[in-house]
Amino acid sequence: MVSVERARYLMGTPCAVVVVHRDSAAALEAVTSALDEIDRLEDVMSSWREDSELARLNRSAAAGPVVCSTELAAVLDSGLVLARLTAGAFDPTVGPLVDAWDLRGQGRVPSVVEVAAALACVGWSGLDFDREARTVRFARPGMSVDLGGVGKGFALDRAAATLARLGSPSALINLGGELFALGERHTVTVAHPAARLTPVVELEVGDACVSTSGQSERGFSVRGVRYGHVIDPRTGRPVATAASVTVVCRSAARADALATALLVMGRERAAGFVRAHPEVGALWLEPAGSGVRAWNWNLSTVRAVPGAQVRWMERREWATHTLEKGNR
Ligand code: AMP
Ligand code: MG
């Protein structure tokens, strides 16, 4: 068996693919095809590029129905399914709020009036999506779709399907910390909620996807207040939490969107949601004094993590902290 690894900068973040295969030429072909697939999808759904298919849709869908490519239709469909599943905690129409808070730029704090104006243009039920015809129309002018909370996961699912089609028995795709682990067990680490370069928990996963949302990744500070990039669609404001949440499940799009949604829900509601969805495992981390507190929901039972190992990293500074188990 040979292991082939390649990395590229994709979707605004480093993307690494490692494939273990009997044949090195086949492994290289698989790795390259997986990276090409993510590259292709970035052209479809990037919110950062003026010329992406999504940017074009956002410019014209208020005027009348716009026909989408099969890929854009598929990711919009996932986004709407997840909006419904999370009762709108995940909402792919948060675009006007992302703009109001300038989350694609330096970040700014909008006035109450600006937040209210943006909120009036947000709401996934205003997205008229015809799945069969693959058309989208905005019910109100000023609406815009933002796939920042699900797009990476969607691309990971497609890249993993590419690897599976090319016969890779074992592979790991890491797209900016969002992971798709194909085949045998892989050990992945989860970072400290306030220090993304400091791993604190190890998870063992097989055939599973892992996605984390939190405040340490991106965000901005104004007069000592830290604002993250996950917005509560009910208030129109970035979620005020120091927590991070890591979701493990079978689909990367779902792991991605659910991590965003659980952060919006807050710990209590998130616990209830995961309890009602046994196919989803989650790890909720909160800074506590100099340490970290953790809540582990379903991680020992979820099928994506057979006989999961969830453990603190072997570091003296973490040894005194509690890793609570069970559905709290
Ligand atoms: P993630 O890092 O996966 O949690 O996604 C955060 C990104 O998703 C943000 O940068 C926004 O582009 C977008 N976003 C923010 N809040 C929400 C929300 N409540 N629902 C869906 N997407 C969101
Ligand atoms: Mg997400």
pLDDT averaged over consecutive 10-residue blocks of the chain (328 residues)? Answer: 94 94 93 97 92 97 97 97 98 98 95 98 97 97 97 98 91 95 87 86 88 85 92 97 94 98 97 95 88 85 53 46 39
Q: How many CB atoms lie within 10 A of CB 246?
A: 27
d(CA 300, CA 308): 5
Q: For position 313, what pLDDT does the model report?
A: 57
User: Cα of 28 to ligand 1 centre, how many Å?
Assistant: 33
What is the C-alpha radius of gyration for the chain, rounded to an integer number of angstroms?
20
User: Cα of 8 to ligand 2 centre, how many Å?
Assistant: 21
Q: For position 325, what pLDDT does the model report?
A: 38
Q: For position 312, what pLDDT does the model report?
A: 59
d(CA 157, CA 171): 13
Q: For position 327, what pLDDT does the model report?
A: 34
What is this structure's pTM? 0.93
CA distances, 85 to each of 51, 171, 274, 318 (Å): 31, 30, 12, 35
Q: For position 205, what pLDDT does the model report?
A: 86
Conformational region of residue 183, where left means phi above 0, alpha means psi within -120 to 50, and beta covers everything else: left
Determine the atom of ligand 1 nearest the C-alpha atom of 91: 20
Ligand 1 pocket check for 264: Cβ under 6 Å: yes
Q: Which of 175, 230, 244 to mutate to test the pocket of ligand 1 (most atoms within 8 A of CB)?
A: 230
Q: For position 322, what pLDDT does the model report?
A: 42
